[in-house]
Amino acid sequence: MQVPHSSQRFEPRAQRQARYRGYDILMQRRGWVVTMKPSRPELPVFRRYSFQTATQSEREALAQAKRRVDLSKASYWC
């Protein structure tokens, strides 16, 4: 069995999932690559459904995804 060196870091939260207003949000820790897809067929599909954030914060990455969902739904339904 190989023991990790003390300088090696393991990311237990390397991938996160959330659902917001009918959209599945998948976040992968690489500067937070965020993918958003509708969970129901009647919801609009994003032109750019994947983006990379400049933040290292998981909360801020999720907040950015939620803002994109809100903006998309507001412009779609108006």
pLDDT digits (tens, 9 = 90+) for 40-56: 998 888 777 888 888 88
The answer to whether position 9 is within a domain reads: no
Going by pLDDT thresholds of 50, 70 and 90, the confidence category of residue 7 is very low
- Say which residue, 63 or 1, is predicted with more confidence: 63
Task: Tell me how far apart the alpha carbons of residues 37 and 45 are, in angstroms, rounded to a whole number.
Answer: 7
pLDDT at residue 30 tops 70: yes
Does pTM top 0.95 for this prediction?
no
> For the chain, what is the domain count?
1
Question: CA nearest 57: which of 36, 27, 37, 35?
Answer: 27
Residue 19's domain comprises 15-77
- 14 Cβ contact list (under 8 Å, min separation 6): 28, 29
Task: Give a yes or no: residue 62 inside a domain.
Answer: yes
**Domain contains 73:** yes
2 falls within a domain: no
